[in-house]
Copies of this chain bind each other. A is one copy, B any other.
Amino acid sequence: MTVKDIGEFKLIERFSNKLKTDSTVVKGSGDDCAVLKLDARSYQLLTCDMLVEGIDFTPKIDPYLVGRKSIAVSISDIAACSGQPRYCVVSMGIPKKTSVKLLDRLFKGMLDIAKEFKINIVGGDISQSPKITIDVSMLGRVEKKNLTLRSSARSGDLIFVTGSLGGSISGKHLKFIPRINEARFLAKEFKVNAMIDISDGLSQDLAHILKQSKVGAIIYEDLIPMDEKSTSLSDALNSGEDFELLFTMSRKIAKRLLKRNLVNFKPIGEIVGEKYGFTLINKDGKPIKISPKGYRHF
């Protein structure tokens, strides 16, 4: 039996089921970040993301954008937990014949986004490898009261997304802006129940929230904010790496948010009881059962 036979999610489950953690770990494997006890007011957030040449990016892509993305994906994970990113370390696997010029560009992409989000790059490791491989681990912080997990959506919540969906394929996955500002704004002025960043695709990532919160959802095709470059509903539903935030809040608080008429936050549906499953209401008002699809490595 190979990893291809078993699939990415089963493989992760196989490992994470065996993990035991002590009482200082608020949330281990299974959310956007690990959540660790820190002090009376705050938790620490820890996350890692690996990019591999030929899988997550092609050699034709500007290395500046690859470097930028390698840091941005971890920032997005911290945003999904409503935190502030602070520090990161960078491990790189590099083929012998890689040009120093290419690495300079790649590194410039890292430095620029780290500066933009006030993140300290504090170390790293270099190894030889057959393809360029970048793994970034990021440490952040969140006030206890602001922590948002995948597991705390409640029946009756409205579901929102930031920005627009489906633009990933046409290049957004390399140029997205991690939604730290949006997450911090929500934390400060509203109360988010559950949150995740859309890295696998709306249908799959909403399914993560539903499963972990033990709830169902109804979303409306008419309400999904399509990226101008997205070609179909399927792009918006199933293509990974939009790196927008998907979140739920109580109807009461959602009303306050909606009154502000902010272009960056769009309601797309509501959380319902688990027994109702996951439904899309299409443009004709017809309900369609959703089977989550999205990017998987195996």
Contact = CB atoms under 8 A, between A and B. Distances in A.
A120 B50 contact: no
A22 interface: yes
B46 A123 contact: yes
A125 interface: yes
Interface in A1-35: 1-6, 8, 11-12, 14-15, 18-22, 24-25, 28-31, 33-34
A12 B52 contact: no
Per DSSP, chain A at the interface is mixed
A105 interface: no
B4 A123 contact: no
A89 interface: yes
Interface stretch (A126-134, A167-175, A280-288): A126-134
Which of the four size classes fits the interface of chain A? Answer: 35 or more
Contact of A87 (B25, B30, B99, B120): B25
Interface stretch (A90-98, A153-161, A204-212, A242-250): A90-98
Contacts of A89: 34, 46-48, 137
B2 A96 contact: yes
Contacts of A129: 52, 55, 131, 133
Contacts of A15: 107, 124
B50 A96 contact: no
Contacts of A200: none
Contacts of A104: 14
The number of times this chain is found in the oligomer is: 2
A62 interface: no
B48 A120 contact: no
A84 to B, nearest CB: 12
Interface in A72-129: 86-87, 89-94, 96-101, 103-104, 107, 111, 115, 118, 120-129
A298 interface: yes
Interface of A: 1-6, 8, 11-12, 14-15, 18-22, 24-25, 28-31, 33-34, 36, 39, 46-52, 54-56, 86-87, 89-94, 96-101, 103-104, 107, 111, 115, 118, 120-131, 133, 135, 137, 139, 297-298
30 contacts: A2-B98, A3-B100, A5-B100, A8-B126, A12-B124, A15-B107, A18-B107, A19-B121, A25-B122, A28-B120, A28-B122, A34-B122, A48-B89, A48-B91, A48-B123, A48-B124, A49-B91, A49-B125, A50-B92, A52-B93, A55-B127, A55-B128, A55-B129, A91-B91, A91-B135, A93-B133, A94-B298, A128-B298, A129-B131, A130-B130
